[in-house]
Amino acid sequence: MPQSGAIEERLRSVAQDAPAQEPAKPVDREKTCPLLLRVFVSDDGRHHRPDDFSKTSVPSNELQIYTWMDASLKELTSLVKEVRPDARKKGTVFKFAVVFQDRTGRFRMREVGQTVGGSKGPNDTVTLASHHFEIGDFMDIAIQLPRDSRRY
């Protein structure tokens, strides 16, 4: 019968050799049809409230983006900046949240990260798939302009 110290050492060795998490397979964008991502943008730096969403109505400031599940937050930031010139300023903060329906039919919101225009950040490479985004969910983006360029 092996000693418990040897077993613990062997388990520790196996755990170190195992990959922490299997990397997500990249989407072949030539062969995979994009999904329609319905994006709702607010300009005051705060997300919409979950009760702003219902089966029959959504906030009026909608952008429709065709993208893939491997789209990163930085990629989505770039797409939003294409249609929102005021958000192109360096230092603009983009806060992302997924809006989804729970099992009872109520809309819920889950924050997934933020990016900052003109600088690299830890959430730049976060993807839709990595936060369990499902087709039919919405994306809510709260844009916070840099202090010196806010409208009063």
Q: Are strands 93-101 and 62-67 parallel, antiparallel or unpaired?
A: unpaired
Token readout for 38 is: 């319905």
CA angle 139, 140, 142 (to 5 degrees): 145
Instruction: Please list, residue by residue across 110-131, b when 16 or more beta carbons sit within 10 angstroms of its beta carbon and e when fewer do.
Output: eebbbbbbeeeeebbebbbebb
Confidence at 42, pLDDT banded by 50, 70, 90: very high
pTM: 0.78
What is residue 116's predicted lDDT score, i.e. its pLDDT?
95
Token readout for 83 is: 């249609």
- Give the Cα separation of 129 and 117 in Å (integer): 22
Mean residue pLDDT across the chain: 86
- Give the Cα separation of 80 and 87 in Å (integer): 8
Confidence at 12, pLDDT banded by 50, 70, 90: low
What is residue 19's predicted lDDT score, i.e. its pLDDT?
47
What is residue 55's predicted lDDT score, i.e. its pLDDT?
87
- Give the Cα separation of 72 and 87 in Å (integer): 18
Please report the domains of the chain, with CATH numbers, ordered by start residue.
Answer: 24-149 (3.10.20.550)
Structure confidence by residue, pLDDT tens digits, 76-135:
999 999 999 989 999 999 999 999 999 999 999 999 999 999 999 999 999 999 988 999
Residue carrying structure tokens 């889950």:
110
- Give the Cα separation of 78 and 88 in Å (integer): 9
Is the predicted pLDDT of residue 18 greater than 50, yes or no?
A: no
Token readout for 119 is: 């600088």
Is the predicted pLDDT of residue 1 greater than 80, yes or no?
A: no
Question: What average pLDDT does range 55-64 have in this prediction?
Answer: 92
